[in-house]
Structure 1
Amino acid sequence: MTRYDTALFNYVPVAMLSEEGILFSGAIQVRPSSNPAAVGDTLTLSLSPAADLRGGSWAVGDSLIITWLGDQQAVFPNHSGRASVNVRTAALTLISLTLEDSGVYVVQSSDPLLMANASVTLLEPVSNVTLGANQSHLMESAPAVVTCSVSSGSSPSFLWFNGSSEVMADERVVFSDGNSTLSVHNMSRYDRGPFRCFAFNPVSNATSDPLTFTVNYGPDNMALTVNGQHATSFLSGTNLTALCSAQSGPPALLRWAFKGRFLNVTGPSLELVDFNQDHSGPYSCLAFNKETNRRSNITKDILINKSHTPSLQQHGFHVGILSMMPWHGLLLSILCKRS
């Protein structure tokens, strides 16, 4: 080390030893470029308003970081390769920040006499946000617990989302462990997700991959229509299509029955071709969910009416009666006049 470098390391501003009042104390403020600052980032500590210092030092706590005199500067070993000072503005720059860089930074000078400080907090950025569940395949009304964790990150906070909607606490939903754990007491078919966890702190944020539950439910809320309508009475010879639906997860197995006897038909539709009165009666759709082991059914009485088309003879009879009525009136009128 040169003789001049040794002088820099031995340089201690008069302000640190003087018993007199310190010039500019309180009038000069230290402005961090970011506070809190993120681990791994770069931090600059500037003076506001700017001051022309011909020499001085920076320290954090009781540890000296750097001293400078004129155009020369010297960095102390504990910040070697990471610290530099702008000798014109006295701004200190630190690179590759670590958690240990948190503390009170003090700048001092003897020409002019000055001391100022600022507290800086270092935080580790949030990274690798993951979700874990006690189980992802559930029966409706069963409880579920989801935990959000980060591989790194100082003092993270957590928000939860179901799709695009934020999950809020209520009588079914409870947050614990600083909001990192989400508990749903009674899972419903509408709670499947996708769930996401948003973890953040003042210097960073990250979102987990989505987690979607499989919620088994039903069958329930069944519906049965014929030819797309709720009518139950049709003319003989009509072709009918009956459609059955049920809310179920997974989709229910559907089977058809007539008058209590199973038909050789499965699935949501039943085709009824050229039906007559013998086919009137109760038609049932039966639903079964193999995961919930639950059954449900719906029945509709379909009435087939005999087609009614008036015959030509009947039509002629009605026309004949109607055509005779004017002559009958005329005959009565003549008889009345003669009498």
Structure 2
Amino acid sequence: MLPLHIQNETSRLRAVVLGTAVSNGPTPTADEAYDPKSLEHILAGTYPIESDMITEMEAFNQVFKKYDVEVFRPDIIQNYNQIFSRDIGFVIDDIFIKANILPDREKELDAIQYVIDHIDPKKVVRPPEEVHIEGGDVMLWNDYIFIGTYKGSDYKDYITARTNWQGVEYIKQLFPYKKVKDFDLVKSKIEARDNALHLDCCFQPVGTNKGIIYKSGFREEADYMFLVNLFGKENLFHITRDEMYHMNSNVFSIAPDVVVSEKNFTRLNNWLRENGFTVEEIPYAEIAKQEGLLRCSTLPLIRE
């Protein structure tokens, strides 16, 4: 049995599901795009090719090996995008929550069923149908659970709005002893530079008391101020609109002092090093074209 244990974003990682880019399928048509950034690259003819993405994910896998992390990969579904395992499920404490994802992504859960089979069935839950919640919107910070959502009355019109108020309520009921804080995120169907697809596109903790944040990703200044007050402004690295677009907040922590980051994030990586972090730089710019990065391609199962 897998003894699930996740209480924050940065404790020493022991087991993780890493997505796969093998048999990723043809470039989608414009009509098939799930987000504005993919659409942009489809239209420009710069959508990433499979071999490049496999190389990038293998670089990530090698970092996990270096730190002795147990890595599970999904079963391969032919001609299908299985890179972003964060969307399909997530662990809070010792509970595995299956996400209610976009209906045509259901197969992705089946592809990690062999992992779920190693979890105590009493610890695996599936929210009711009206609950929308994806792992990229759920962030654990010890006593807190941060959840990205979209509170606009036009929620149903946005394929980029992935977690609804029912999702927030569901987590509150499941974890009554946690402080659940929701954040209303800015969404756009057409401009990737103004679309916070998930919470991890505009905020992520690093270390034990620091974080990366994009102020304009929050619809309400009060939500942004909540994080400033919790972490302290001096502990937050503020990214620009362009850095948000390139997914600078979507790094991944292997330990409180070890962060995996994209090699082109020069300003961020320098700040991390100045603050005592070991930065494992890898190429991930092709995968970033699909509006997802390092955190999005992982589903952590066990942290110390």
Tell me, yes or no, whether TM beats 0.5: no
Bigger helix fraction: 2
Bucket of the pairwise TM-score, normalised by the shorter protein: under 0.3
Higher relative contact order (CA 8 A, sep 6+): 2
Q: TM-score scaled to structure 2, two decimals?
A: 0.15
State the structure with more CA Rg.
1
Structure with the largest fraction of strand: 1
Question: TM-score scaled to structure 1, two decimals?
Answer: 0.14
